[in-house]
Structure 1
């Protein structure tokens, strides 16, 4: 079988699916009238809200809440208490304080509050020093059992 035959078979199957798009599955006849059938009177006047449709539209069977005899129990995952965050080392804390001060200086400048020249330079130095300190604390090598990344 070549590629043209496969394409023709796929095109035929797709055409069959599209041709049967309007068809609905047949409901099993339980012999009992559904709630929908009871809600629509047989003697509805033409043009009224309760007029029976002339097409073969599918009907939705909604079960009553009283008919459900078994309560549904869902098992949920309980991860337990969250472990407390470890205390950062002093170089990491100093680095984050430097970056936080730089961010605060930028926000104060954006909102138009005047800053002394030394405070602005302290923000620049705090950002550069904090970033350098945090980057120097990154691990140099990966552990051998670290893997290649995320595992699904």
Structure 2
């Protein structure tokens, strides 16, 4: 148990040394500081003319140094845009096929159940038989929609986007 406490104390000492000298390792900007003069708003004299006042304050902003580059590493520059208009324009999508009667029956059952649940959730008093009809419609609609799914994927369907 004593070894574990000694390790924790050693870690705490090492951390305190790191934190104590942290401000000494900060990079200093090599460029001179730029000054920025801010002027106050327009002032109106007694005669009704507008005049600008003298600069109110001068702020000194530090310059932002360039990030250091490791020796032997070249900086990366983005490639130039391609010449001409060689962008890829996809073909228009084919029109969607009209859904069959089983799909319409399935979606009608599921959406009917959703409407009944929303109506009951907003405080509308509904008869009990309508609730049971909504539950039955949801179950029948879900089963019909699941039976309409394809059983096998075509071999050339792929597994996602292709570049």
TM-score when scaled to structure 1? 0.50
Q: Higher strand proportion, which one?
A: 2
Work out which structure has the larger RCO, using CA pairs closer than 8 Å and 6 or more positions apart in sequence. 1
Select which of 87, 98, 119 maps to 2:98. Answer: 87
**Which residue does 1:58 correspond to in 2?**
63
The aligned length equals: 102
- How do 1:3-152 and structure 2 match up within 5 A? 19=25, 21-23=27-29, 40=37, 48-49=56-57, 51=58, 53=60, 57-58=62-63, 84-151=95-162
Mark the runs of 5 or more structure 2 residues left unpaired by the alignment: 1-23, 39-54, 65-84
In 1, distance between residues paired with 2:28 and 2:162?
Answer: 43
> For the aligned residues, what is the CA RMSD?
3.9
Does the 8 A contact of 2:113 with 2:138 survive in 1?
Answer: yes
Counterparts in 2 of 1:117 and 1:23: CA distance versus 1, 3 Å: same
Q: Distance in 2 between matches of 1:120 and 1:138?
A: 28
Q: How far does residue 85 in structure 1 lie from its aligned partner after superposition?
A: 3.3
Deviation at 1:48, TM superposition (A): 4.2
- Rounded to whole Å, the distance in 2 between the matches of 1:129 and 1:88 is 17
**Structure 1, unaligned stretches of length 5 or more?**
1-17, 28-35, 42-46, 60-74
